[in-house]
Structure 1
Amino acid sequence: MIFKRVPTHQVDFINLVKQLDTTLAETDGDEHEFYHQFNGLDTLKHRLVGYHEEIPVAIGAIKELTPTCVEVKRMFTVPEYRGQGIGSRLLTELELWAKELDYEKSALETGKRQPDAIALYEKNGYARIQNYGQYKGQENSVCFEKLL
């Protein structure tokens, strides 16, 4: 598995974002448009694509939430490659990048209808916190944080 830092409009990143958005539209149902508005690619300066034998199979990104905290965004692994630890490795790469950029914490939001994502974040040391920012009061949102 190789993780590459890529520019915003890199084709592999864009193609996997489309797959992620299709999946989230199904999972989130009527709430998809609310969540989708916070996932613009132009705000993501730090993006990774994970490659297995040159095939793009995973993506993730970080963006500044506060001067000391990044927010993990657009985490996705192609379904056929799940269960192999790729999500954990991708998350670790994003955390290392955040530390390299001098951030102290990492935060993220996921949906209650995404139990595999919740399990991934808990397994990797993320603790549940009060919903932050635009996720305050959102019944489907679960927010997490981790000290780096």
Structure 2
Amino acid sequence: MHIALESPDQPDVIALITELDAYQDSLYPPEARYALDLSVLIQPHVLFAVARDAAGQAVGCGAIVLGPEFGELKRMFVSPRARGGGVARRLLDLLETEAAARGCRNITLETGPYQPEALGLYAACGYQRCGPYGDYADDPLSVFMQKSF
């Protein structure tokens, strides 16, 4: 498995993001989804990581949007065909390391209550639940978490 910062504007990565969107659509109504589109993900203040299998195919991704007060973790996803091997943890480790190297000392995230595996991963990696941040409203379909370095 190879994990590195890459541009999200690649056909296999776009296909992976489409897979993520379909998964999210199966869990939450549109008004409870806060996905970033490709035009945001390619901005210079966004770190975007891709996990590739032995054949070079994109099987996981994640992003951190760097802001003045915190970085926000977005678009974390590992395709079902690659789950169970620690890919998500390795993606998160790389993104955190890269964000910290750029001066980020606090990472926040919003996820949903119907993703127990994601909630477990974030808790195991030191994220703690918190209240809404930024422009988010309190919502029963949102779980907010943060981690400081």
Query: If the length of structure 1 is used for normalisation, what is the TM-score?
Result: 0.90
Matched, 1:9 2:9: yes
Counterpart mapping for 1:7-86 below 5 A: 7-28=7-28, 31-36=29-34, 38-44=35-41, 45-53=46-54, 54-64=56-66, 66-86=67-87
Query: Is the Cα–Cα contact under 8 Å of residues 24 and 33 in structure 2 kept in the other structure?
Result: no
1-10 vs 83-92, which deviates more? 1-10
CA distance in 1, matches of 2:49, 2:117: 20
Partner of 2:98: 97
**Unpaired segments ≥5 residues, structure 2:** none
CA distance in 1, matches of 2:120, 2:22: 21
Query: Is the Cα–Cα contact under 8 Å of residues 8 and 42 in structure 1 kept in the other structure?
Result: no
**Unpaired segments ≥5 residues, structure 1:** none
Query: Is the Cα–Cα contact under 8 Å of residues 65 and 73 in structure 2 kept in the other structure?
Result: yes
CA distance in 1, matches of 2:4, 2:91: 10
1:92-133 Cα deviation digits (max 9, x unpaired) = 010011011111111101001111110110011101111223
Note the aligned Cα RMSD (angstroms): 1.5
Query: Is the Cα–Cα contact under 8 Å of residues 32 and 142 in structure 2 kept in the other structure?
Result: no
CA distance in 1, matches of 2:145, 2:126: 9
Query: Is the Cα–Cα contact under 8 Å of residues 3 and 90 in structure 2 kept in the other structure?
Result: no
Higher helix share: 1
C-alpha deviation, 1:134, in angstroms: 3.5
Letter in 1 for 2:30: H
C-alpha deviation, 1:9, in angstroms: 1.3
Query: Is the Cα–Cα contact under 8 Å of residues 109 and 144 in structure 1 kept in the other structure?
Result: yes
Query: Is the Cα–Cα contact under 8 Å of residues 46 and 61 in structure 1 kept in the other structure?
Result: yes
Query: If the length of structure 2 is used for normalisation, what is the TM-score?
Result: 0.89
Higher strand share: 1
Instruction: Give the number of equivalent residue pairs.
Output: 144
124-133 vs 18-27, which deviates more? 124-133
Structure 1 residue runs of 4 or more that deviate by more than 4 Å after TM superposition: none
CA distance in 1, matches of 2:53, 2:75: 19
